[in-house]
C-alpha cells in the first residue's frame, strides 16, 4: 500500500491588508450614520443605538491585528460594508479558482511538479462561490490536471478533512498526486456591520500537495495518522443557500452571513479538540515531548493557548504553537495550513508536528506529520 506524504504547500496572500484601526474607523462611521438615520426610534426607545467597536477589544479578545482582503475599498466604505467583487462572465476564471490556482502554483513549483502530473483536485473550503460546476474542476482545467476533481465544505475544518481524503485516495491507489486547495474569501460571508464579529475573518488561499511516497520528492512530510470528528452545533451558522437567500433589501440578511455564539464556541470546542488530540497521540504512540510543533487552526489566540497547554502540559511558546492571527486573522480552513507553510522550514528529519483544525459543525481534524530526509 502506498504511504501518503505532504510533498509541498503553497500560499496566496491578497495584496490589501486592513488594520484594526482602519476597520474600527469604518465600523464606527457606519454606526454613527445608522444612529443618525434612526435617531427618532432611538430617542423613543424603540431601538438601541449601535455602540462603537474598539481596537483594544479586538486585539485582547482575539489576537487579531490585521487581515488581508481581496477588496479593501468596499469593506471600508461605511455606505457599503461589504467587498466589491464584480461578477465575472462564465468564460473568465472565477475569483475563487483564480486564487486557488495561485496557491497551487507555488506548491507545484516547490515539489517540481507540473499540472498534468496531478491525478485529483479537491477544493476544500467554507465559502464556495457557487453550487456548480465545482471550483475544483475549474482549477483542474486551469492547471491542465488529469483525473477527477470535486468541492467539499467542512467549514473551518475543510483542510484537514481534505488532507485525510487525499491521503485515503493515495492509500487506496486511486491517485498518486492529489492537489488540495483552500481558497477562502471570508470577507464575502462576514457581516461587517456586526460589532461582535466584524473583525474576525480575512481572505487567502492555501494549497497542499499529497503524494504517494514512491513518487514524492525527498524532504516531504510523512502523514503518520489522521482523525476527523463532527458534533452537531448551532453555535456557528451561515444559513445562506439557494433555498435561503434573504431578500435584496437585507431583511433577514443577518443569518445569511456568518453568525456565532463566540463564548459558547470557545467553551465547547477547546475541551473537544484537546481531548481529540490527546486520544490520537495515544493511538499513534506519540508522547507530547516528541511533538515539536502544533500548527493549530487560527481562530482565536486564547483558544490556541488553552488547547496547546492541555496537549503539551505547559504553556506553549510561539515556537511550539505559532500564530498567524496577527497578520491574517481567521482565514477559516486555510489558517492551520498558513501556519504550517510559514513555520515548518526549520524542521529536521524525524521531527513530528500536528496540523489541527476546528470550527463550524462542530468539526475538527488532526493530521500528525513527520519530516522525512
**Which residues make up the interface to ligand COA (CB under 6 A)?**
53-54, 57-58, 61-62, 156, 195-196, 236, 260, 262-263, 265-266, 299-300, 303, 330, 359
Give residues with Cβ within 8 angstroms of 265, minimum separation 6.
235, 236
Q: Which residues are catalytic?
A: 156
Alpha helices in the chain (DSSP H): 20-37, 39-43, 55-62, 72-76, 95-111, 135-143, 158-172, 262-284, 301-312, 325-328, 335-342
Task: Work out how close the CB of 154 gets to ligand COA at its nearest, in angstroms, rounded to a whole number.
Answer: 11
CB of 103 to ligand COA, least distance (A): 20
State which residue, 121 or 360, has the beta carbon closest to ligand COA. Answer: 360
- All cell numbers assigned to 110: 516547490
Q: DSSP states of 137-155 as a string?
A: HHHHHHHT--SEEEEE-BT
- Least separation in angstroms between residue 170's CB and ligand COA is 28
Q: Residue 5 or residue 200: which is nearer to ligand COA going by CB?
A: 200
Alpha-carbon span 46 to 44, nearest angstrom: 6
Residue nearest to ligand COA (CB): 262
Looking at beta carbons only, is 297 or 352 nearer to ligand COA? 297
Residues 6+ apart with CB under 8 A from 249: none
Do residues 341 and 207 touch, judged by C-beta distance below 8 A? no
> Whole-number minimum distance, CB 265 to ligand COA, in Å?
4
Q: Which is nearer to ligand COA, 268 or 320 (CB)?
A: 268
Amino acid at each position: 500500500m502506498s504511504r501518503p506524504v505532504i510533498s509541498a504547500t503553497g500560499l496566496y496572500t491578497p495584496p490589501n491588508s486592513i488594520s484594526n484601526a482602519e476597520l474600527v474607523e469604518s465600523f464606527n462611521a457606519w454606526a454613527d450614520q445608522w444612529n443618525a438615520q434612526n435617531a427618532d426610534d432611538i430617542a423613543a426607545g424603540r431601538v438601541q443605538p449601535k455602540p462603537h467597536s474598539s481596537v483594544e477589544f479586538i486585539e485582547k479578545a482575539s489576537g487579531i491585528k490585521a487581515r488581508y482582503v481581496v477588496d479593501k475599498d468596499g469593506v471600508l466604505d461605511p455606505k457599503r460594508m461589504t467587498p466589491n467583487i464584480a461578477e465575472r462572465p462564465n468564460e473568465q476564471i472565477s475569483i475563487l479558482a483564480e486564487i486557488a490556482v495561485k496557491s497551487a502554483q507555488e506548491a507545484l513549483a516547490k515539489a517540481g511538479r507540473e499540472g498534468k502530473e496531478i491525478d485529483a483536485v479537491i477544493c476544500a473550503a467554507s465559502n464556495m462561490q457557487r453550487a456548480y460546476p465545482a471550483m475544483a474542476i475549474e482549477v483542474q482545467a486551469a492547471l491542465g490536471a488529469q483525473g477527477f476533481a470535486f468541492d467539499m465544505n467542512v467549514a473551518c475544518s475543510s483542510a484537514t478533512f481534505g488532507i485525510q481524503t487525499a491521503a485515503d485516495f493515495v492509500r487506496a491507489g486511486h491517485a498518486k498526486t492529489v492537489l488540495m486547495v483552500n481558497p477562502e474569501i471570508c470577507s464575502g460571508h462576514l457581516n461587517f456591520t456586526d460589532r461582535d464579529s466584524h473583525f474576525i475573518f480575512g481572505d487567502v488561499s492555501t494549497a497542499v500537495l499529497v503524494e504517494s511516497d514512491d513518487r514524492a520528492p525527498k524532504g516531504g512530510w510523512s502523514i503518520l495518522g489522521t482523525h476527523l470528528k463532527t458534533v452537531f452545533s448551532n453555535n456557528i451558522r451561515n444559513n445562506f443557500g439557494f433555498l435561503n437567500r434573504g431578500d435584496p433589501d437585507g431583511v433577514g440578511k443577518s443569518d445569511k452571513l456568518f453568525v456565532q455564539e463566540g463564548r459558547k464556541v470557545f467553551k465547547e470546542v477547546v475541551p473537544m479538540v484537546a481531548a481529540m488530540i490527546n486520544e490520537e497521540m495515544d493511538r499513534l504512540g506519540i508522547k507530547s515531548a516528541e511533538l515539536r510543533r502544533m500548527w493549530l487552526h487560527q481562530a482565536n489566540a486564547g483558544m490556541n493557548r488553552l488547547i496547546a497547554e492541555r496537549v503539551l502540559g505547559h504553556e506553549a511558546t510561539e515556537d511550539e504553537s505559532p500564530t498567524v492571527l496577527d497578520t491574517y486573522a481567521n482565514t477559516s480552513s486555510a489558517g492551520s495550513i498558513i501556519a504550517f507553510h510559514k513555520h515548518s522550514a526549520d524542521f529536521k528529519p524525524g521531527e513530528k508536528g500536528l496540523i489541527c483544525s476546528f470550527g463550524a459543525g462542530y468539526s475538527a481534524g488532526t493530521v500528525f506529520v513527520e519530516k522525512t530526509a
